[in-house]
Structure 1
Amino acid sequence: MTADDSLIAQLRERAPVLASELPRVLTASRFVRAALPVLIDAGEDFADWSRSLAAGELAAAVDAALAGVDDPALAMQKLRRLRRRYMVRIAVRDLANLASLDETLGDLSDLADACLGSALRAVEQRLQARHGIPRNAAGEVIRPVVLGMGKLGGRELNFSSDIDLIFCHTDSGETDGPKVLSSDEYFARLAQETTKWLVAPTADGFVFRVDTMLRPFGSAGALSASFPALEDYYQVHGREWERYALIKARPVAGDLAAGQRLLQTLRPFVYRRYLDYNAIGALRELKRLIESEVARKGLANNIKLGAGGIREIEFIVQSFQLVRGGSVAALRDTRLRPVLRYLGENGYLDPDDAARLDAAYVFLRRLENAIQMYADQQTHTLPETDEARAALVAALGFADWPALLQRVDAVRAEVERQFARVFATAPETAASPHQALVDALWAGSVSGDAALDALCDIGFRQRPQAVLAQIESLREVRLVRAMREDAVQRLRMLLALLFAEALTQRDPESALIRTLRVVEAVAGRSTYLTLLRESQPARAALVRLCAASPWLTDFIARAPIVLDSLLDPRSLYAPPDREELFAELRRRAEALRPPADTEQAMDLLRHYQREITLRIAAADLVEALPLVKVSDRLTWLAESIVDQALRFAWMEMQAQYGTPLRRDGTAAGFAVIAYGKFGGIELGYGSDLDLVFLHDCDQLDADSVGGARRIDNGTYLARLAQRLINWLSTQTAAGRAYEVDMELRPNGRSGLLVSSLSRFADYQKNEAWTWEHQALTRARWVAGSPQIGAAFDAVRRDVLMRVRDTETLRREILDMRAKMRANLDKSTSEVWDIKQGQGGLVDIEFITQYLVLRDAHKDAGIVQWSDNWRQLEALERAGSIGAADVRTLIDCYRRYRTWAHAQALQNAPLLCEAQRFADERAAVTRLWSRYLGAGA
């Protein structure tokens, strides 16, 4: 009987679930084969190996093993034997296909956490017995923190991996014992001794190899740094590769809560506030260095560092984390697979590509573990001996070595393909045909008529002088003049690429001049210049949009964060529908909790508003959306922003003041009512929001409950209203979401900022002017308490359906229209005001509003809708207006709005030549006379 047969026989009864797989496991791992007899002699319960380890079980086992052990040598022996026991268990379960990859990596990481944590605590007790407890100047205890980096930080530790650690401590001071040490010396000793407990070789081997080279200043730096020293280091000396490394950082030992606070403090260093496309270049350069090292050392068969290996998958995922992690919380995860899954589910990667990358990662990590489980050696290279190859074939269940090698080659080819696409070489390697001209213009070696002739020769024939002037303007921008020479060179490369892109447009001069205004606006942000230089789709989309609209050019220049939206043409020209708008904003906002995150939350609203507005405008300009759909989406966007802003405002108020209650003990409600274009679902680009706020609190003098402070409910609701306005309209570095107009509230500017529902109803029924009832025809609930929304609808219906004296109504509406025209109509003998002029937009709205107020008492369907279009159709159904007249008014309204909409995108006034829309104006004027003229 062979040794393997003997092992299998001994284990068959003890662990029947393992018996069938044991021959393959023993072939796959010399390490397991050597360790099993030792565990058998120690009385190991192999039947227990059929189950997964419970959360915290490893930590409890390590603590139990070291409990009451004062002798360091004995403690180190126990740690090593326990490590061997669990490493064998983990290897057997993995090789026997009883554990998933995530379970194997998680168990290995938990084992490292547990051994490190127990060693740290044991060493700390011995140090404190000699030197006392370290304290800062205020007498507070200074605590150790150990950050796990790399695979350990991501809970993805491989079988024979080093553990990358950064030791640190919460503050500076000294110990309070008889043998005083400075905190730096104390924690250096703690780090040194803890490392020794893990790495020192004994008769029982070692626990884990430890690498501390990722600490500040590497081998020249202190073994443990205080939090202030760490913060200062990353702020002053932090390098790009350290950002990359800190993506994986996780507190693994010591004061874990303090470690989380430290990482929160360091987050702005790791994750830029804005999209950071420079990170791709930095990662590309790091990959080049790795490739050089692979070639120098002959590591082509290294499945970690070689082409198509594990590191390339990590780089793909971490490039998205570095670029977007500042704005997308879900990307700030230390684990690779959840982030990769998120990238596929949310359109950052093609879902099929993400799935293929995940499958490749699982295969390569299982391959890596199997290579290391063979002899518990730290290697990532495919084996060369027949025995090791046979072991690997057995571990992964392949028929033979060629079959396994074929699969390895296919997986690596797929990873290499996807890596090449994400990290496509920057275009500076393939110069634009216009590069020489741009360089000459920039240097001034070609100027005057020669420069104009050169621009004409390549296609800028209409206004070459304007192009030249814009280039000279860009060259003189202060931030451009302050650039280093290499940055200026990259800027010139971008300009040459933009020349080529602009020359594909119908009006190349306008396209280039406007695009260069955007470049001028982002000159101080190298990440956006990098994006435009490296992404042809983004560059093409920017030039196209700037060519189409000066309004959009200004919009992008004021909010360059929207440049990110240009990367994917599929989403750029397909803005989301209402449900998607709300769901996406809520998803992005779910991790934010004002007041702690107020600034970040305000920026989120503004960035989201700009991102979606750009996508709507892009779809509009390529005629992917008709006018009505454009207004719908702009309105839905405003609804989603108001809804989320109100949620944030409530969070702020409740954190400070608790909740206002009604007399019956239920929470008071607050609702937002939209008027005007917002209420009428007709928002355009840059529209203000006309809002009215209502509440249902019936005890305004009572105090709020449950907060850090109490204020009376009336003050509470007024502050809530003001905060909501601030959330929407405050100017921040990211701009403002919307301008807010509150003049349509009861009593206008002199009225309360928020009204009770009962007061609003009384005002509308007994005090409101006719023009306020006209405004009410276009009002609707958009956010806040649905109960108040339903009650508002009832009030609106009751007021609008009141029986009115027709002649009085007609006269008051005519008087109001006359005042508006006298003050607002900009028409002259040469131009006509499409909004306020006779026969224009406002006349159509007044005709509709007059008929609604006149006839709503006859048919409740007339007041069902708040938009002009559906109100006219309801009036037709009620017999208040003929079908032909409705078609005329709707057709004229649509043509006017389409033209006005196009004017807005061109930054042009709503004034057209006097004879334009002559037929439409005449038709509307005729219907005005029919319904509102004398004797109507």
Structure 2
Amino acid sequence: MSDPAQQTFDAALAAIPEPLRGQVSAQWQELAPHITALPPGPWLETLPRVFAASEFVARGCVQQPALLNELVISGHLFDPYPAGDLTRRVAKFLGDAADEPALKTRLRQLRRREMLRIAWRDLAGWADLDETLTTLSEFADACVDGALARLYAWTVEKSGEPKGEQSGRPQRLVVLALGKLGGQELNFSSDIDLMFAYPEEGETPGAPPLSNHEFFIRLGQALINALNENTADGFVFRVDMRLRPNGASGPLALSFGAMEHYYQTHGREWERYAFIKARVIAGDREAGAELLKTLKPFVYRKYLDYGTIESIRGMKAMIERETTRKGMQGNIKLGRGGIREIEFIAQTQQLIRGGREPQLQERRLLTVLPRLAAAGCMDAGTAEELTQAYIFLRNVEHRLQMAADQQTQQLPTDEMAQTRLAFASGFADVKGLANELERQREKVHRHFAQLFRTEDDAAGEREPDRLAAVWQGTADAESARQILRDSGYAQPEETLSLINALREGPMVSAYSTGARARIDRVVPLVLQAAGRSDDPQTTLQRLVHLLEAVGRRTVYFSLMAENPQVLTQLVRLGSASPWIASWIAQHPILLDELLNPALYELPTPEALQDELRQRLAHIPEEDLELQMEVLREFRHGHVLRVAATDIGPGLAPEQTGAALAAVAESMVTAALELAARDLERKHGAPRCPGRETPPGFAVIGYGKLGSHELGYGSDLDMIFLYEGCDEGMTHGARALPNEAFFARLGQRLIHILTTRTPGGILYEVDMRLRPSGKSGPLVTSLAAFRDYQRDHAWTWEHQALVRARPVAGSPVLARQFAEVREEILRRPRDPARLKTEVREMRDKMAAEKVRHDDTQADVKHDPGGIVDIEFMVQYWVLRWAHDHPGLTRHTENIQLLEALKAEGLLEPARAELLTQAWRRYLSVEHRLKLMERGSLADPAELGDWPGKVREVWEEVFD
């Protein structure tokens, strides 16, 4: 080796710790005579660092200098492989292997070269973690697929080609990778977790025939042997098949049907966990993709699966016992704050929510962490801390394994090995690495402990065992009553009867052991939490109703037991409002909302629309069923947030109505988009001859939706308009006239809004305000609507138009509707005739309203109530809008009163009186709903406002 090369080496050698220099220098002296043709360069500048960090790389270069020569001369050492290049290289190298011994030799030659290259690039700092993981995984994929292709061909030559019994088609093996390889996160010296399957039973055509089952077991055994056997050339990958159905005792390969049956019947929680990362890596990839699609419901449940936390806590506890027993606390994978805890945090959230949020069905951990943050499953700071910890720990893991190509995650205790690891990890000394390891692992374990609270962690937050004894009936009657008194219950007999009825009822009696354990855990917590409320007995009754409503979905008991915040919020809201308690009981998925730190914050309408679009964006377009469920969950959750904010921090009544209207508007907008997309796939989009822009469709909100004054149980008053044109047709293969398309669009929209699914309905819809009412067409062209309003509409229909506004659909059509509305509202009218018609309509409504309880007040329909104010406002707008166009700019009653005052048409004192009365009435309406008190109020709640409003009415309509 030339003097410049030696000088380069010596300069680089000086940068490594002194204890490591001697061995590196000796290895260099042994290698140097065999690589004299290589000019000095980056390879030599990094060689001392790489050799100091990896005895494996040093030994490989010394034993086979030609490897280093070839890697440097080819340039492969210095640059990442282009996408797919490594796979092509492996396939070509294995493609002409003559027999199994030759295949094994070539596989091991490939491993020696590629692992040396991967380690060098990693230790030299030329590859980041993503490149290292991806390259290792691609290499393993290529080896498995390339070996399988040769072995399958040889097995077919010997035994014949297996055929499907039903289809008659040739059958091929499907190789699934799980674990790190499945997630494309393979570490340097990892096992590869594989599973073998084939589509159909059947047999080969040979004599004698071989069953497909036996054929694929033999093929699988040959594949494992090709990869796993430790020959004179070493091994390729250690193959672990224990994750297959029934583990080591199960068949090596199963048909798709047998696999589906196993997971439907016997699948366990840890197997769901393992399948998060399942990926087809070899064989019949198309069939494998269908198998994974079939098994997806086993992995990702349609509901929020909080029982996962218990199961994974159990898995973690088992691992901790094993690491303690074997003295493995220094294991950076399995020990406290290790890699496995990060995986458990992410994958638990995936199992809980992945069935409902497809974007979380992601194999790679570093990809899913930010998605979990975006979905609100963890805050962005937590996701970033876990990301950085994972990168750090995986890099340390690789330095451990690259040192001697050993499968280890155990931190060394030998001083030289510690020095090597610290240096390889970029630290000046052993203490620096130890401090950073401790810092990162403590962060991980803190986040882990917050999610997986152990029994000891939770003990301080639980009621003593006394309440558990009351629930389980092991305390005698007098002791039970005293325990309940001490816990806040003033009527312990009633409380005890309620508890006993729940415990002895058919629901709890039918529980499995696991479900019974869940309710046994949660009921004492419910008793404790309700006992601290202002009205323990009433609150407990509401919570017991909720527990009964949850019924067999006992995973929600786990959610309540695992998260004190859920019970705290449940008691707070349930004690304040029976409607909220019932709302959650009807939709148990809302328990998840109680974990939301933004529960008492209302998003803007724009944020609502954006959030909903993001939720729907990850759902396949053809899956309308899931889209409809997401709409319902979204609506239920945001209505709960409005109610919680209304009861908690408090909202002005008009803010409540506006917030509920914003939720409804977001639902209608999204439902319209889904309906239009579905129809356009079948029929194409509508078109008008001679026009580039397509005709529009719009949803017009009337009543409380139009005036931003929606109540908690309000229907949606709507009409549908479309932009008509002569001879308009859709442009799809199954073309329709535009009118037919828009009629179907309206029907489809109503279907999405009103169909009862497991999540309930979105809204009841009232279309009676459309032109000609029930007898009129469901959808109306804008021109026909204009003509109807000009020539045929009754005065009461013009009154309704005061509160009408576009809520979804074409912006162009919305503007055109606004022009028609303004035209109609600004028509000059005979004041006397208008007054008579408005008064007569009000009298007709009053006559039709039957009173059943004269001791109660009907906030809406009684004289001086809501309808009187609405009719007066509408009368004033219709009377004066001709000369005062500002009156047509609003649809909300309070805004209209302000406009009337600003235009000088309404005395300030009168406007203020009606505004205050309106606010009181809206507030009472909202409270009646939240307290489940029907539509009638105690007259005292309304004060003297009805009398004052009626005085104004008499003055206006005398």
Instruction: Tell me the CA shift for residue 549 of structure 1.
Output: 0.5
Taking a change above 3 Å as real, the CA distance of residues 696 and 168 of structure 1, as seen in their structure-2 partners, is same
Deviation at 1:818, TM superposition (A): 0.5
Matched, 1:436 2:436: no
- Provide the residue aligned with 2:748 in structure 1: 723
Q: Which is further off, 271-280 or 75-84?
A: 75-84
Which residue of 1 is the match for residue 688 of structure 2?
662
Q: Find the residue that maps to 1:164 and give its secondary structure.
A: strand
Distance 1:49 1:454 in 2: 74
* 2:808 counterpart of 1:783: yes
SS of the residue aligned with 1:156? coil
Shift of 1:224: 1.5
Q: Is the 8 A contact 1:556 1:563 kept in 2?
A: yes
Post-superposition offset of 1:296: 1.7
Provide the secondary structure at the position in 2 that maps to 1:45: helix
Q: Mean alpha-carbon deviation: is it higher for 1-10 or for 197-206?
A: 1-10
State the distance in 2 between where 1:203 and 1:490 align: 55
Equivalent runs, 1:457-496 vs 2, <5 Å? 457-461=486-490, 463-484=491-512, 487-496=515-524
Structure 2 residue identity aligned to 1:436: R
Correspondence 1:703-714 to 2 at 5 A: 704-707=730-733, 709-714=734-739
1:357 is the counterpart of 2:386: yes
| 1:287-313 residue CA offsets vs partner (Å, 9 max, x unmatched) | 111111112222122111111111111
Are the aligned partners of 2:53 and 2:420 in contact in 1 as well (CA < 8 Å)? Answer: yes
1:603 is matched with 629
Where 1:379 maps in the other structure, the secondary structure is coil
Judge which range, 352-361 or 843-852, deviates more. 352-361
- CA-to-aligned-CA distance 1:565-619 (integer Å, 9 cap, x gap): 1124x2222232222211111111112234x412211111111111111122111
Q: Relative to structure 1, is the Cα distance of residues 565 and 48 closer, same or farther in structure 2, using a 3 angstrom cutoff?
A: same
CA, structure 1 residues 484+299, in 2 after alignment: closer, same or farther (shift >3 Å)? same
Q: Is the 8 A contact 1:80 1:207 kept in 2?
A: yes
Q: What secondary structure is seen at the aligned counterpart in 2 of 1:187? A: helix
**Counterpart residue number, 1:166:** 195
State the partner residue of 1:883.
908
**Partner in structure 2 of residue 333 of structure 1:** 362
Residues of 1 paired with 2:737 and 2:772: CA distance? 23
Q: Residue 546 of structure 1 corresponds to which residue in structure 2?
A: 574
In the alignment, the residues of structure 2 paired with residue 415 and residue 279 of structure 1 have an alpha-carbon distance, to the nearest angstrom, of: 19
> What is the identity, as a one-letter code, of the residue corresponding to 2:897?
L
**Pairs within 5 Å for 1:403-414:** 403-414=432-443
Residues 1:135 and 2:160 are matched in the alignment: no
Farther off after superposition, 259-268 or 435-444: 435-444
Structure 1 residue 53 corresponds to structure 2 residue 81: yes
SS of 1:114's equivalent?
helix
Secondary structure, counterpart of 2:231 in structure 1: coil
Q: Please say if residues 686 and 731 of structure 2, whose CA atoms lie closer than 8 Å, have aligned partners that are also in contact.
A: yes
Q: Distance in 2 between matches of 1:756 and 1:926?
A: 42
Letter in 2 for 1:889: L
Secondary structure at 2:649 match in 1: coil
Q: Does 1:29 align with 2:82?
A: no
Q: Residues 676 and 542 from structure 1, CA distance in 2 versus in 1: closer, same or farther, beyond 3 angstroms? A: same
Contact 1:8 1:19 in 2 (8 A): no
Q: Distance in 2 between matches of 1:77 and 1:375?
A: 22
Assess if the C-alpha contact under 8 Å between 2:95 and 2:150 holds in 1.
no
Structure 2 residue 182 is the aligned partner of structure 1 residue 153: yes
1:567 alignment counterpart:
595
3-state SS in 2 of match to 1:290 = helix
Distance 1:811 1:19, change over 3 A: farther
Q: Summarize deviations over 1:151-203 as a string: whole Å, max 9, x none.
A: 11111100011111111112222234566322212222222222222222333
Q: Match for 1:838 among 846, 863, 868?
A: 863
Q: Alignment partner of 2:847: what SS?
A: helix
Instruction: Give 4+ residue runs of structure 1 displaced > 6 Å after superposition.
Output: none
**Aligned residues with identical type, % of pairs:** 43
* Cα offset, 1:44, TM superposition: 4.6
Contact 2:724–2:783 (CA<8 Å) still a contact in 1? Answer: no
Q: C-alpha displacement at 1:537, in angstroms?
A: 0.5
Is residue 2:410 matched to residue 1:381? Answer: yes
1:11 Cα deviation from its structure 2 partner: 8.9
Over residues 52-93 of structure 1, what are the superposed CA-to-partner deviations in whole Å (9 max), with x where a residue is unaligned?
A: 222111111112212333333333322222222221221111
1:827–1:911 contact (8 Å) kept in structure 2:
no
1:703-756 deviations in whole A, cap 9, x for unaligned? 54325x444443332222111111111111111111111111111111111111
Q: CA offsets, 1:847-884, max 9 Å, x none?
A: 11111111112132211122111122222222322222
Give the deviation of 1:327 after TM superposition.
Answer: 1.5
C-alpha displacement of 1:388: 2.5
Instruction: Give the counterpart of 2:426 among 379, 384, 397.
Output: 397
1:733 to 754, 758, 769: 758
Report the secondary structure of 2:598's partner residue: helix
Give 1:828 deviation, angstroms.
Answer: 6.1
The structural deviation recorded for 1:4 is: 4.6
Determine helix, strand or coil for the equivalent of 2:944: helix
Judged with a 3 Å threshold, the aligned counterparts in structure 2 of structure 1 residues 96 and 44 are, in CA distance, closer, same or farther, namely closer
Retained in 1: the 8 A contact 2:519–2:557? yes
Distance 2:708 2:338 in 1: 53
Aligned-CA RMSD value: 2.3
Structure 1 residues 263 and 881, CA, compared in 2 at 3 Å: closer, same or farther?
Answer: same
Relative distance call for 1:5 and 1:605 in structure 2 (3 A) is same
- Deviation readout 1:433-468 (Å, 9 max, x if unpaired): 464355346538644x8765653454221x444423
Structure 1 gaps of 5+ residues are: none
**Which has the higher mean CA deviation after the structures are superposed, 842-851 or 656-665?**
656-665
Matching of residue 633 in structure 1 with residue 659 in structure 2: yes
Calculate the TM-score normalised by the size of structure 2. Answer: 0.93
CA distance in 1, matches of 2:453, 2:180: 26
Residue of structure 2 aligned with 1:261, choices 264, 270, 290: 290
Alignment match, 1:222 = 251
In structure 2, the gaps of 5 or more residues are 1-5, 7-24
Please give the secondary structure, in 2, of the residue aligned with 1:720. helix
Shift of 1:51: 2.1
Alignment match of 1:190 (pick from 205, 219, 238)? 219
| Aligned residue identity for 1:167 | F
1:582-597 to 2 correspondences below 5 Å: 582-594=609-621, 596-597=622-623
Matched, 1:819 2:848: no
Q: Is 1:748 aligned to residue 778 of structure 2?
A: no
Matched, 1:899 2:924: yes
Q: Counterpart of 2:832? A: 807
Looking at structure 2, the residues matched to 286 and 450 of structure 1 have their Cα atoms a distance apart, in angstroms, of: 38
Q: Which amino acid letter does the alignment assign opposite residue 396 of structure 1? A: S
Deviates more, 1:369-378 or 1:326-335: 326-335
Q: Per the alignment, do residues 668 and 179 of structure 1 end up closer, same or farther by CA in structure 2, a change over 3 Å counting?
A: farther
Match for 2:823 among 790, 793, 798? 798
Name the count of aligned residue pairs: 927
What's the CA shift string for 1:324-356, capped at 9, x where partnerless?
112222221111112222233444223223222
Are the aligned partners of 2:174 and 2:280 in contact in 1 as well (CA < 8 Å)? yes
Q: Is the 8 A contact 1:692 1:742 kept in 2?
A: yes
Q: Judging changes above 3 Å, is the alpha-carbon distance between structure 1 residues 575 and 228 closer, same or farther for their aligned structure 2 residues?
A: farther
Q: How does 1:6-405 map to 2 (within 5 A)?
A: 10=35, 14=39, 16-36=41-61, 37-42=65-70, 44-45=72-73, 47-136=75-164, 137-176=166-205, 180-405=209-434
1:829/1:914 contact within 8 Å kept: no
**Matching residue within 796, 802, 816 for 1:771:** 796
SS at 1:623 equivalent: helix
Aligned: 1:866 with 2:866: no
2:707 to 680, 698, 701: 680
Match of 1:643 in 2: 669
Q: CA deviation at 1:148?
A: 1.0
Aligned residues of 2:471 and 2:520 also touching (Cα < 8 A): no
Return the alpha-carbon distance in structure 1 between the equivalents of residues 731 and 575 of structure 2.
56
Residue by residue, what CA displacement relative to the aligned partner does 1:795-840 show, whole Å, maximum 9, x if unpaired?
A: 1111111111211111111111111111126386533211111111
